């Protein structure tokens, strides 16, 4: 069927919108505009398909669009910034699942028309990868939401189960090509779902950002394959963009964390497990109250703030920004040190601080700020843990070993704001908490930060 000229032109406009959206998302200054451009392109794409394609079930389609729009709008408005990684994981999983379902339905139509082998290969690829993305994203969501343990999960015979499932899935994919049928496609779907669960279960909390990015790439690739099967140029372009961007981001994330992508995903096949501490330590630490910490900050010439996910959970970023402004008015030089995986996904901490109107020029990336910790009088760690844990450099058995960290331990004094002595997301103890230069300030971050702000103002 020849595609009308107006549809081809519309697809071109939408493709340009998606490219401009990715370009805009590359910088916090233009991210909002890029997101709006991408959303506008998606709306135009839906409208074009609705009016260009021969539709036999208009009412169910309109109902599906209405329900999906309502869920998306309500969900996006109600979810807090701290829950954004979970929302991204869910949306990503829905995309992969949708691609797999569409390919499975299309397989029933292809089976009766003796399609080219490559069409069947693309269909099998979409079913398998889309199913893996869906199941893996659901497990990732459960880990991020802490509805299941964030520690690596393995069991006796896990390597055998994983390899057997992988071999069976590849065999089912070959079966789809040789004997195309919905039954074989359904088996491939089930094996893909099981493979997605087995893929993500042994991934520890510290490596979840890498997995989010990788599953995003999987979804993009499955959508691109769907575009090939349907001969839809727009799906092909959009899926390729998402797949390529997700793959590049995964590589960059793995490098930022000093990780091997292969060992992150398949390390459990060796039978090992990197499980850290799960209970609070009873070792003695040095603690202080807001008044003592305020004096430390008040007489400091150079202060570096290390924000973490705990800051966002307590919604203390606005009070922290006020504290920084007061210190700057007193002549103190203050910067924020941002680890590449601060928060629960790439760029998460930047967005949280931007929400509090923190000037972007105050945010210093790890490679830029690490050389300055030695000159800092005080480093205030708020809600961060794993990204400043020296075990990443000193303990080969630690699950975060090899991950580049912020060199907080080089500062003259370190103040840790913590609710308790519980380990971080990676589930291991932080030796920095017991260092002679470290002082702990216990309490809810928002409440304690308010008290600290009041004490600094009174100096």
Catalytic residues: 386
- The two tokens of residue 390 are 């020296």
Phi-psi category of 114—alpha, beta or left, where left has phi over 0 and alpha has psi -120 to 50?
A: left
Residues in contact with 200: Cβ distance below 8 Å, sequence separation at least 6, in sequence order: 135, 136, 139, 140, 143, 211, 215
Cβ-Cβ contacts under 8 Å for 324 (sequence gap 6 or more): 305, 334, 358, 362
What b/e readout covers 238-258, taking b as 16+ CB neighbours within 10 angstroms? bbbbbbebbbebbeebbebbe
- In three-state form (DSSP H/G/I as H, E/B as E, the rest C), the secondary structure along 245-301 is HHHHHHHHHHHHCCCCHHHHHHHHHHCCCCCCCCCCCCCCCCECCHHHHHHHHHCCC
Cα pseudo-dihedral 75, 78, 84, 90, rounded to 10: -20
Which residue has 């008044």 as its token pair? 291
Buried b (16+ CB within 10 A) or exposed e, 155-171: eeebbeebeebbebbee
Burial readout 388-418 (b: 16 or more C-beta within 10 A, e: otherwise): bbbbbbebeebbbbebbbbbbbbbebbbbbb
| CA neighbor of 405 nearest in space, from 253, 228, 183, 256 | 256
Q: Which helix H or strand E contains 65, and what residues bound it?
A: helix 58-78
Strand pairing partners for 253? Answer: none
Laid out side by side, the sheet with 363-365 consists of: 363-365, 333-338, 302-307, 378-382, 413-418, 438-442
Q: How far is CA 393 from the centre of its chain?
A: 24
CB 434 within 8 A of CB 408: no
User: How many other CB atoms sit within 10 Å of the CB of residue 272?
Assistant: 12
CA distance 255 to 402: 10
């Amino acid at each position: 069927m020849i595609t009308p000229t107006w549809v081809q032109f519309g697809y071109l406009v939408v493709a340009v919108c998606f490219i401009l959206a990715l370009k805009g998302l590359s910088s916090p200054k233009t991210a909002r505009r890029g997101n709006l451009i991408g959303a506008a392109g998606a709306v135009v794409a839906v409208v074009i398909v609705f009016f260009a394609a021969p539709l036999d079930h208009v009412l169910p389609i309109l109902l599906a669009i209405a329900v999906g729009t309502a869920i998306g709008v309500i969900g996006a408005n109600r979810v807090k910034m701290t829950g954004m990684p979970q929302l991204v994981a869910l949306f990503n999983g829905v995309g992969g699942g949708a691609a797999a379902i569409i390919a499975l339905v299309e397989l029933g139509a292809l089976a009766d028309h003796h399609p080219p082998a490559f069409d069947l290969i693309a269909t099998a690829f979409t079913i398998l990868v889309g199913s893996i993305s869906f199941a893996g994203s659901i497990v990732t969501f459960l880990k991020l939401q802490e509805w299941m343990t964030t520690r690596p999960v393995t069991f006796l015979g896990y390597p055998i189960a994983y390899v057997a499932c992988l071999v069976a899935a590849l065999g089912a994919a070959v079966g789809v090509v040789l004997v195309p049928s919905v039954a074989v496609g359904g088996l491939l779907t089930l094996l893909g779902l099981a493979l997605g669960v087995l893929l993500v279960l042994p991934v520890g909390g510290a490596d979840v950002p890498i997995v989010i990015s990788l599953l995003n790439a999987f979804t993009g690739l499955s959508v691109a394959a769907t575009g090939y099967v349907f001969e839809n140029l727009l799906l092909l372009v959009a899926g390729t963009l998402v797949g390529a961007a997700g793959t590049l981001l995964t590589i960059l994330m793995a490098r930022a964390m000093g990780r091997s992508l292969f060992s992150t995903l398949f390390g459990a096949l060796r039978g090992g497990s990197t499980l850290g501490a799960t209970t609070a330590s009873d070792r003695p630490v040095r603690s202080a109250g807001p008044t003592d910490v305020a004096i430390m900050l008040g007489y400091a010439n150079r202060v570096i703030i290390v924000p973490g996910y705990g800051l966002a959970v307590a919604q203390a970023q606005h009070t922290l920004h006020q504290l920084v402004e007061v210190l700057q008015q007193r002549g103190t030089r203050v910067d924020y040190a941002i680890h590449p995986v601060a928060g629960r996904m790439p760029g998460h901490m930047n967005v949280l601080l931007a929400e509090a109107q923190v000037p972007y020029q105050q945010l210093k990336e790890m490679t830029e700020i690490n050389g300055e910790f030695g000159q800092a009088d005080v480093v205030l760690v708020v809600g961060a843990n794993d990204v400043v844990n020296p075990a990443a450099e000193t303990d080969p058995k630690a699950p975060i070993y090899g991950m580049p960290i912020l060199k907080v331990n080089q500062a003259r004094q370190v103040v840790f704001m913590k609710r308790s002595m519980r380990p971080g997301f990676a589930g291991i103890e932080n030796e920095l908490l017991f260092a002679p230069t470290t002082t702990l300030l216990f309490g809810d971050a928002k409440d304690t930060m308010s008290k600290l702000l009041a004490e600094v103002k009174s100096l």
